[in-house]
Chains A and B, each alone.
Chain A
């Protein structure tokens, strides 16, 4: 029972963390972020199973997290209001080649970040972008001008 309760608490905390740290952090995976992810996983594991090395313990922990993941995704699918809380909505960053700075600031993104993402999408200039949309996953979708 203890592992299941720990799993619920830690799942809730990690979910909260991924929602509040902002999409900017989610979208960029610099070497430091990668190391941080590994450290985070290791730290969570110790709090989750502690000194339990049993297969039963692992099954409980993985089962709890997997069930909660399915439950939250079902909740987001079934209830639109819940989706807003659990996943969020996209944010328009560029419309018709014009940057919406208010929305950039809100997500702690700079014009340089946007230009970098545009270049990785083979768009030389933001002026060539019809729509740039910051998706809930943390990626930026670019729709070029026709």
Chain B
């Protein structure tokens, strides 16, 4: 039975105080449809034993986004349960978030389209689809192609960052074989390694299953970031190795390189957003400084950790540890 309702709730739910006070509201109540949806959740339950917050959209007649927090009030005198429903009108912030999403999507399209044209056109010319090229012409076009690729990669990093910060970087946890995923990634990098004359090796885990619950797209991205960095900052004829092992309930992925290394001073800031070490800028001026920030975020969403050991001019080892027990896995398999 409705005992109290304030003026704002009357306006928001289009109900009159005189009409509603003392009324018992039923599920799908035809007379008070909006009030009914505030009281009953989607499972038609009236309310929980502890405070619960949920989102609700109603049309009165325009769209209104509401956040409903239902709090049970307990009384010692045996008066039974009472509930208070706090309604927050989130319409404006939802609209702003939606506009921002649309802006990011359109900006992505506007930036990616000319880059796609460059990519496909240069690739077609380099492949000889438009006639034979002199060696020197081909080399120049290959450099242009690589520069374009770096810009695409930068745009992708910025988009991922925007999504992550907007809470749009959804995580979907399911059972995957981490070892076969690493094998596939290494295969893709072997071409790159060959081109740069870097020895790339993979050390597999000892026999046993490497199946466990994680978000495969995100972990793949994190491993890509580590390998990409190792390849970029390791000079010609150097070595990069990746290993996977399982120890005491953890999957441990290490990427070791014989690259430029990281100074003690820079280690502390390495996982910060947009941070780039001076020696890294001199090797690769176009990096975004987002990769390790993203990788750390991804690993921590899995309740894992990421650490770096390094010596300047000798190389680095970046290690990701992921728990095999689903510490991070939410009940419905998704989280933001």
Chains A and B bind each other: no
B interface with A by C-beta (< 8 Å): none
A interface with B by C-beta (< 8 Å): none
